[in-house]
Structure 1
Amino acid sequence: MKMVSPIEELLDAAEGRLSELKVERIVIGLAYSAVLLSDGSLGLAATPHVVWGCRTHPAAGELAGRQATELARGLLSPNPLDSTLGLATVNAVLGEGARPSPDPLEALGVESTHVVGVVGYIGPLIRALEGRVKEVLVFERDPSRPGVLPDWAVEMELPRCDVVFITGAAFANKTVGHLLELCRGRTAVIGPSTPMWPGLLDHGVDWLFGAKAPDPARTLQVIAEGGGTRALYRHGLVKVALGREDMVHRGK
């Protein structure tokens, strides 16, 4: 029997909510991409760090007005940009039941004796961990920063981590399923790209730390002007979270 990946399940969960919606606007920024839907909801995903050269999106000028489900299915595409727009589309309709985010380190029970893995270079999180835990292992596709391990090192190192934080962008680059298989300790998916879907808690995820945009127009402006994570939060993006304990309280 073929195993269904977390990405396929995520898309299935979102398509029912997307079926009656259309794409209103798309913004592809330096750090994030955003999709605004016809009901006013907005979803984000990290813009892939790919050397595009002179390439452009072949459907530019034609994406707005399309059915939201069509754009969402790009999440299954091998094309990094289509996958990113697919994730942003899915993220626009997720988040029911999410609450204001607690401190991620406290929520995961991070202790001074822990080895903590961070998949994706998440600067503020890494700085918060340094000096607080026994060891911080950072994995990144581009390991050019000092102390950063190449992404393939997860095969050897991730299983020994007591706590692992995975960037939400791992959904767009199709690595999230395997990363979760490698995790043995407590695990969280974190960042504005994170899909706030409770079903992920059935795949070994303990916490989801994502974001919602109460003011879509302002968020779109920040992204269009080249803003990153700090600028987005400074201009109104809100951190939200969903954990296993939330599902228990809701009687799941």
Structure 2
Amino acid sequence: MKIPPREIYDLLLDSSRSNALIQEILIGLTWTYCQAEGIGLCMSPGQPTRTLPWSGTLVGKAIADLTAWVRSWDSYQATIGMAAINAAINSTSSLVQQAQPLSSQSSANLAVFEHFLPLIQGKRVVVIGRYPGLSQYEQAANLTVLERQPIAADLPDTACEYLLPEADWVFLTATSIANKTFPRLVELSQAAQLVLMGPTTPWLPELADMGVNYLAGVAIAHPDTLRQTIAEGGGTRIFESGVQYRILKVAD
């Protein structure tokens, strides 16, 4: 670890400097979408609200006015900030083209787990976040899922302090950047192979210096379909045609 994970927010802001203007913001049920020079995504907050004071004022703003929101403790501001950062970074990053496209025999939103299944069998694996359909892999691999709202055999996210230092593999949702849990979770996962994953993932090579071994983000496959699916409340459906998972090893 050459860069402390707490510096992730400085890295993101330094890497997303742009003169582009915001063209559109959509806050869908599952995903938040930002259109500027490119398209950026972040998982939407789980708590609905009717009192967003800046609604109707964001289009036409400089992207830098919104990227700074990633530091906010307000979940909606942080989400929009992260989506804006990805709109700036992911549209120009060469890593997206270098990354291996993934396909799935079952569900496209689980393509990352299907890809790693031969490597994680018999290993101690911790997954941050309950992914829809993940249970189909729990018999083939020794998976422990940490969740803020645990169900069934899930453990509460506070178990991270005990489980992550002993894990062989950790699958970490990039939404952890927006909700500010990224620094501590990465610190705890230094002994594991760490996969940063999901549409929120920024394609930045410097993440390897923080201890991330793999980036498992997305490439925009069909922008119009993606936008419509998000606007109509889509969650996992964006993986069917809007985006495609891609994976790149960035550190040993």
TM-score normalised per structure 1: 0.86
Partners of 2:14 and 2:235 lie apart in 1 by 29
Partners of 2:95 and 2:187 lie apart in 1 by 26
Measure how far apart 1:244 and its partner are: 1.8
Partners of 1:32 and 1:88 lie apart in 2 by 9
Q: Which secondary structure does the structure 1 equivalent of 2:225 belong to?
A: helix
In the alignment, which of 39, 42, 67 is matched to residue 42 of structure 1? 39
Q: Tell me if 1:192 matches 2:199.
A: yes
Which amino acid counterpart does residue 132 of structure 2 have in structure 1? G
Partners of 1:69 and 1:120 lie apart in 2 by 30
> Which digits, 9 at most, give the CA deviation of each residue in 1:186-236, with x for residues without a partner?
00011111111111111110101111223322211110100012x112233
Q: Tell me if 1:153 matches 2:162.
A: no
Partners of 1:189 and 1:128 lie apart in 2 by 21
Partners of 1:137 and 1:156 lie apart in 2 by 12
Q: Which secondary structure does the structure 1 equivalent of 2:178 belong to?
A: coil
- Match of residue 100 from structure 2: 100
Distance 1:243 1:74, change over 3 A: same
Partners of 1:166 and 1:111 lie apart in 2 by 15
Query: After the TM superposition, which parts of structure 1 deviate over 4 Å for at least 4 consecutive aligned residues?
Result: 105-109
Partners of 1:177 and 1:101 lie apart in 2 by 28
In the alignment, which of 7, 11, 22 is matched to residue 5 of structure 1? 7
In the alignment, which of 234, 239, 243 is matched to residue 237 of structure 1? 243
In the alignment, which of 134, 139, 144 is matched to residue 131 of structure 1? 139
Q: Which secondary structure does the structure 2 equivalent of 1:118 belong to?
A: strand
In the alignment, which of 176, 179, 204 is matched to residue 182 of structure 2? 176
Measure how far apart 1:56 and its partner are: 2.5
> Which digits, 9 at most, give the CA deviation of each residue in 1:77-109, with x for residues without a partner?
111011001111111132422223356455586
Which amino acid counterpart does residue 42 of structure 1 have in structure 2? I
1:17-32 matches, within 5 Å, as 19-32=18-31
Partners of 1:139 and 1:218 lie apart in 2 by 32
Which amino acid counterpart does residue 97 of structure 1 have in structure 2? L
Q: Tell me if 1:116 matches 2:162.
A: no
Measure how far apart 1:168 and its partner are: 1.1
Measure how far apart 1:242 and its partner are: 2.5
In the alignment, which of 64, 72, 78 is matched to residue 59 of structure 2? 64
Measure how far apart 1:10 and its partner are: 1.8
- Match of residue 162 from structure 1: 168
Q: Which secondary structure does the structure 2 equivalent of 1:62 belong to?
A: coil
Which amino acid counterpart does residue 40 of structure 2 have in structure 1? G
TM-score normalised per structure 2: 0.86
Q: Tell me if 1:85 matches 2:85.
A: no
- Tell me if the contact between 2:112 and 2:245 (Cα under 8 Å) persists in the aligned partners: no
Partners of 2:218 and 2:143 lie apart in 1 by 24
> Which digits, 9 at most, give the CA deviation of each residue in 1:30-69, with x for residues without a partner?
00000001x3x111110011253xx332111110000001
- Tell me if the contact between 1:108 and 1:186 (Cα under 8 Å) persists in the aligned partners: no
> Please, what is the CA RMSD of the aligned residues?
2.1
* Residues matched between the structures, number: 234
Distance 1:11 1:108, change over 3 A: farther
Identity %: 31
Gaps of 5+ in 2: 103-110
Measure how far apart 1:9 and its partner are: 1.2
- Tell me if the contact between 1:108 and 1:163 (Cα under 8 Å) persists in the aligned partners: no
More displaced 10-residue stretch of structure 1: 214-223 or 155-164: 214-223
